[in-house]
Homo-oligomer: A and B are copies of this chain.
């Protein structure tokens, strides 16, 4: 799948609330009242990732969860990453 250009990524981020670039990836930090609720969110994302066969990098720091997306096989951000970021935002509500 084709890596998006910087302009295309900027355009996509304009519609992706909370997401930012971090190096070659895009990422968003989600914050919850506690660890338990953070894990509920992580498990919902894990199910969606399995369904899409596209897995974010997930960092859990007690009540803060960072989701990062990059298409490693393409070496950058692709349409798959943007679609998964949209899905994650839907789940976060």
Q: A16 at interface (Cβ–Cβ under 8 A)?
A: no
Contacting B at CB under 8 A, from A54-82, are 55, 57-62
Copies of this chain: 2
- In the complex, the answer to whether A39 meets B35 with C-beta atoms within 8 Å is no
Query: Does any Cβ of B come within 8 Å of A49's Cβ?
Result: yes
**17 contacting pairs across A/B (C-beta < 8 A):** A35-B46, A35-B49, A35-B50, A35-B55, A36-B50, A39-B43, A39-B46, A42-B42, A43-B43, A55-B62, A57-B59, A57-B60, A58-B58, A58-B59, A58-B60, A59-B59, A59-B60
Chain A residues in contact with chain B, CB under 8 A?
35-36, 39, 42-43, 46, 49-50, 55, 57-62
